[in-house]
Amino acid sequence: METANLIPRSSLRLVKILGAIFNFVWYANFILIPFVIAVVGYKVVTDGKIDSTIAVQIANTVDSSPVATIIDNAKTASATINIGVLKIELKPTIKHLSLLIVQFVLIESILILFLYNMRKILNSFKAQRPFSRENTKRLRWIGLSVILYVPVHLINYLFDVWILHDSIAAPNQIYWVQKEIDPNMLILGIIIYVISSIFDYGMVVEQENKEFV
């Protein structure tokens, strides 16, 4: 007996497009990994330096420019430049290199975990098998990878703070590392975890329907 199509053709087109995008990112990532390692390694060996870019907040006293007003209620206005980017050339030490390697491994691990499970789920959609225990586990792994983004980003933030204090005299008088930690990623990861439970329920319903038929 032929299995009924659980996913309509119109949605399958979108699934195929998403599958192609995730496949491209998956393979491109593995091509870029050795390229990035080679470029950074070459710069360390030849120049003895590592380029570091840090997003910072700048004290409001650094620059403030007047802005023309267009309504009577706004008599005066000014624009304050308080966000910038610091580009620092570091002379790498064992500590610097170790932390960079840890950062790189953590970010790549999360990315690979996310991409691998997304590709598997999209392939199961194309095969008209969306509800399965494997997909439930894959969704949970995806939720975990999204949740792990938050502590990894916190580690990156602390690393930038350490580089800033290690490289610039009295940085807190002018610069602060910009906090870019987004709690929405944590919420999104939890939502994906909940969706995995819905998938689990859908799988049970599908199995019961098959047994009934």
pLDDT digits (tens, 9 = 90+) for 46-71: 888 887 777 777 765 545 555 444 44
Q: What percent of the chain has pLDDT over 90?
A: 24
Residue 72 placed within a domain = no
Residue 133's pLDDT band (cuts 50, 70, 90): confident
Whole-model pTM?
A: 0.76
Residue 60 placed within a domain = no
Residue 1's pLDDT band (cuts 50, 70, 90): very low
Tell me the residue range of the domain where 144 lies: 9-50+91-212
Upper half-sphere CA count for residue 46 (Cβ side, 13 Å)? 6
Backbone angle region of 42, left / alpha / beta, with phi > 0 → left and psi within -120 to 50 → alpha = alpha
Residue 170's pLDDT band (cuts 50, 70, 90): low
Give the CA distances from residue 99 to residues 102, 105, 160, 163, in Å, rounded to whole numbers and listed in that order: 5, 10, 11, 11
39: phi then psi, degrees, rounded to nearest 5? -65, -45
pLDDT digits (tens, 9 = 90+) for 82-122: 677 777 777 878 888 888 888 899 999 999 999 999 999 99
Residue 79 placed within a domain = no
Domain count, the chain: 1
